[in-house]
Structure 1
Amino acid sequence: MFTHILVAADGSDHSFRACEKAAELASLEEDAVIELLHVELRSRSVQDELEDEKPHSPAEEQQQLFEQYKAVDIGAAQWKETVIMERENVASSIIDYTKESGADVLVIGSRGRSSLQTMVLGSVSHKVMKYVEVPVLIVK
């Protein structure tokens, strides 16, 4: 049914739960691939820089993030990692990549890391759900 499962990975609790649900979907197909998609922001805010205990390179941060997701047991499925730079905004980047990737399903958390942006602009998952042409599983 779903052999190419795309998971939007932003490091939030909701996206980790989305990864766990993706693992459940992957267990239904013996040749499944779970692709972790992380949209890297082009620039970090001053607040982000101040909150860091020590500076990390973007590549190190991405690798740490993916290692946390890869702790989820996915059985016989395989991992694939993709990082893209934000072009317009996170939602449009996820929408565009989902169309290009050939994924069978997109699994995304209902809320991400930015609660202020969600209150003001609406959630990324809501925007993505409206425009992605494959089934979308939104995980709370």
Structure 2
Amino acid sequence: MKTIIVPVDFSEHSEYALKAAAALAKKRDSEILALHMLDMHVASMNESGSYHQEQTAFLLQFAKKRFHNFLKKEYLEDVKVTPIIKHFKVFSEVNEVAKKENADLIVMGSHGATGLKELFLGSNTEKVIRFSEIPVMIVKNDLENFDFEEVVYATDFSRESIGAYLQTKSIVDDLGGKLHVLYVNTPYDNFKTTAEMHQMAAEFLIAAEGNAEKLKEVSFVCDRTIEKGILNFANSVGADLIAVSTHGRKGLSHVFRGSLSEDIANHATLPILTVKM
């Protein structure tokens, strides 16, 4: 994990993300690219060309000064931080920067449980996730512990999620954590017997890793909803992070049906790692 991108809007939540990224960077000697996007679309449509150029120059200098002050943090000492300013809020550019810089991870802040409802209604975080081709970590609080030792990855063991599983496994190994692979069995939707769950998991692991040796490490839980199963299990193992898969531009769609990802993000206080399938 050599390069981490942190979108910055100077809010306290983007500082939470910056602090988390700094902790990761110090442990892995990574570089942080702090990315700020100026909101200039309205001005470009309403103002004359000459005035717009003056306004752009003024806002750019103001952003540079604000960036300089924002990055004066003790937790950034001994961390290589490169500020990047884009002139417009084009969220696909986050992914373009990630590709250009060969970045490994995007870490960004988002609001707490109530505010996170906006995340799935067109907010900045959701837009970044839709375009991102690399994993995105969502940080919602000022974390005291930056050691992601226990990570829960919930899956339905579908073939399309194999790539996301392997990438999540690689990230967790790099973080030095333990990956808890979880399947939630519910009474109302596609209920499976114990034998059926084990067979499905074994076939998935054989396809993903060439063997089913890790079957003994897979957890199967029953709960009234998949969301409750994930959150209850994460609480029971003292998880530091919950990982989910996304379909990228198809929306923040989880390997499960419905609005599960939305529900988890709205109700979980833990950081969430999204990995594109």
* TM-score of the alignment, normalized to the shorter chain, above 0.5: yes
Partner of 1:50: none
TM-score, length-scaled by structure 1:
0.72
Paired with 1:107 and 1:120, the residues of 2 have a C-alpha distance of 17
User: What whole-Å deviation, never above 9, does each CA across 1:85-126 have from its counterpart, x for those lacking one?
Assistant: 21xx44223233223221111111125xxx8xx589521111
Q: What is the RMSD of the two structures over their aligned residues, measured on CA atoms? A: 2.7
Q: Cα offset for 1:72? A: 4.5
Partner of 1:60: 62
Paired with 2:19 and 2:119, the residues of 1 have a C-alpha distance of 26
Contact 2:33 2:81 in 1 (8 A): yes
1:8 is matched by which residue type in structure 2? P
Normalized per residue, the structure richer in helix is 2
SS in 1 for 2:75: coil
Within the alignment, does 1:28 sit opposite 2:30 as a pair?
no
TM-score, length-scaled by structure 2:
0.39
Map 1:1-140; keep pairs closer than 5 Å: 2-30=1-29, 32-43=30-41, 57-58=58-59, 59-86=61-88, 89-111=89-111, 118=118, 121-140=121-140
2:128 is matched by which residue type in structure 1? V
Structure 1: runs of 5 or more not aligned? 46-54
Paired with 1:103 and 1:119, the residues of 2 have a C-alpha distance of 23
Contact 1:16 1:69 in 2 (8 A): no
Change (3 A) 1:25 1:121: same
Contact 1:20 1:72 in 2 (8 A): no
Q: Cα offset for 1:7? A: 0.5
Contact 1:90 1:124 in 2 (8 A): no
Contact 2:39 2:87 in 1 (8 A): yes
Paired with 2:103 and 2:119, the residues of 1 have a C-alpha distance of 29
Paired with 1:138 and 1:119, the residues of 2 have a C-alpha distance of 10
Structure 2: runs of 5 or more not aligned? 44-54, 141-277
SS in 1 for 2:62: helix
Larger radius of gyration: 2
Contact 2:92 2:132 in 1 (8 A): no
Change (3 A) 1:68 1:3: same
Q: Cα offset for 1:43? A: 4.8
Contact 2:34 2:81 in 1 (8 A): yes
Paired with 2:58 and 2:139, the residues of 1 have a C-alpha distance of 30
Contact 2:3 2:31 in 1 (8 A): yes
